[in-house]
Structure 1
Amino acid sequence: MLSYQHAYHAGNFADVHKHLVLYAIIDHLLRKVSSVTYIDTHAGRGRYPLNAEETLRLGEYRDGAEKLWKERGRLAEDPLLADWLEGLAAAQSRQNPTELDHYPGSPWWLAQRLREQDALRLFELHPREHEHLSRQQLADRVRQVHGDGLSGLIESLPVATPRLCVLVDPSYERKEEYGEVAATLLEAMRKARHGIVLVWYPLLPAGRHEALLDALKAGGLRKIWRSELRVASPQSERGMYGSGMLVINPPWGLDRRLEDAMARLAPVLGDASRHRGDWWVPE
């Protein structure tokens, strides 16, 4: 099934959550000179104009990135949020730099911080999404692949660089994807056990994400930090009520840094918004 296109959801609260975690990890990796290979298994388009027909149809960015943009002066009191918001500002049109008219996807966040010694591989299976992605002006060190990101991840390992960072964020349109992601991650960590892996999952009333979390724990992986942002209660929503992120092998201090940032961010998204961070599997 290739019906999912992220443009309909660009800039929503889940994007904000996911990309803030990603940004924090990139920031940590850049503190050392040694090279990093980044792999994005479900890249999407890279950068989304918020006036696009698909994005305006649902307008989910209004309850996500736009709320943060309007409160950016106050949110910038937190160092991580200040840096992330500066990155968000850099993604806007030069004609109106104070207006929020674009939302950057994970390829943009990764490519903007890429150094000469680093590498980036972007996988996208959807033909139209890959076509949009191929139009983005990215560095020569960025390799774009029209293909399945989960199998592409396994085929890419081990990498030539000393360090590895992987983002896995499928749409989970098919319920089987939870099991496929778990199986892929268990195999990937056997081939690159020191890699940092970020896994996004939706919080839905059906609770299918629990099978993913349980499978990773049962598979013997250690050192998994969990971050969940809830913007509504499961009982009040028929759709996605929250966003989850797992970080395998998180950098030291990531949990505290994100807890501080999310404590400021969550209330801006709404009175019902809550963040929880904990160790799903300890070291």
Structure 2
Amino acid sequence: MLSYQHAYHAGNLADFHKHALLASMLDYLVRKPKPLSYLETHAGRGLYDLSGAESTRTGEAQAGITRALTEGWLPPGHPLLQALTAIRGWHGPDAYPGSPLIAQYLLRPDDRMDLAELHPAEAEAPAPHIPGARLHHQDGFVMANALCPPTPRRGMLLIDPSFEVKSDYETIPRFIQRIAAKWNVGTIALWYPLLADNRHKAMIGSLAANFPEALLHEVGFAPARPGHGMVGSGMFVVNPPYGIRDETARLSRIFAAL
């Protein structure tokens, strides 16, 4: 339990998919001159080193963000490209931001950020890189349930577990129902892996039945190495920001051409 460490997978194709959508959604939300709340249930660390032993061991970043930048998958002005360029200017050319640091770059001084992380090694890592965030060393589902509806009420919750806890597939639909009932104006975004055994299907079926107007976006890609179970990346978004479907269509074209 709690053996997953994202440093081995930072910047991979799933990260690119997730972070391109996250940045696009936050970019839209911050256009309105009213403060917002941003919450994450599984924050990980704020910053990763793609030249580190973990990343070079798997090579997943080379097939993900490195290829994306080389081939121009992010057009000029894309919020993820802006965040990545700024963060590499501060931390070096091999830096890759986790979702908390991407959010911190896009949010404004009067926005609120609450980050939960239960993994002991990961929980120690965000603090130096996420100034102004409230860090919670606890179960992220407990944190979100306690804080929602947040103040300010506008905002977004990112649910991004590793799914090493297999019961997450069963409990997440009920959790999202509870949060949406309490926070009906919040954007609730769930990232999940597409696995060769299709274990995500029942979870997404349940969510789609309860939230028929939500955004569902999935992309496929080849396994990172022989025998690797992840064959794609998915995002399910309740109350998606206006215009995000243009970004999903763009990403679908990119991944279809891989």
> What TM-score do you get using the length of structure 1 for normalisation?
0.84
Native 8 Å contact 2:117 2:139 kept in 1: yes
Give the superposition deviation at 1:238.
4.5
Q: Give the gaps of 5 or more residues in structure 1.
A: 274-283
Within a 5 Å distance, the mapping from 1:8-19 to structure 2 comes to 8-19=8-19
Give the superposition deviation at 1:262.
4.2
Distance 1:94 1:27, change over 3 A: closer
Give the superposition deviation at 1:249.
0.7
Detail structure 1 runs of 4+ shifted over 4 Å in the superposition: 93-96
Q: Does 1:115 align with 2:108?
A: yes
Q: Across the two proteins, how many residue pairs are aligned to each other?
A: 256
Which secondary structure state, in structure 2, belongs to the residue aligned with residue 33 of structure 1?
coil
Give the superposition deviation at 1:93.
4.9
The residue aligned with 2:152 is 161
Q: Percent identity?
A: 37
Give the superposition deviation at 1:94.
4.8
Q: Does 1:231 align with 2:221?
A: yes
Q: Does 1:194 align with 2:185?
A: yes
Q: Does 1:132 align with 2:125?
A: yes
- For 2:95 and 2:124, the matched residues in 1 are separated by 18
Within a 5 Å distance, the mapping from 1:125-274 to structure 2 comes to 125-136=118-129, 138-140=130-132, 142-218=133-209, 220-232=210-222, 238-263=228-253, 265-266=254-255, 271=257, 273=258
Give the superposition deviation at 1:252.
1.8
- For 1:66 and 1:156, the matched residues in 2 are separated by 36
- For 2:95 and 2:91, the matched residues in 1 are separated by 12
Native 8 Å contact 1:42 1:149 kept in 2: yes
Which of 158-167 and 16-25 deviates more? 158-167
Q: Give the gaps of 5 or more residues in structure 2.
A: none
Which secondary structure state, in structure 2, belongs to the residue aligned with residue 206 of structure 1?
coil
> What TM-score do you get using the length of structure 2 for normalisation?
0.92
Task: Please list the CA deviations of residues 143-180 of structure 1 after superposition, one character each: whole Å capped at 9, or x if unmatched.
Answer: 01101001111111111213020100100113211112
Distance 1:139 1:261, change over 3 A: same
Native 8 Å contact 2:40 2:115 kept in 1: yes
The residue aligned with 2:87 is 91
Alignment RMSD, CA only? 2.0
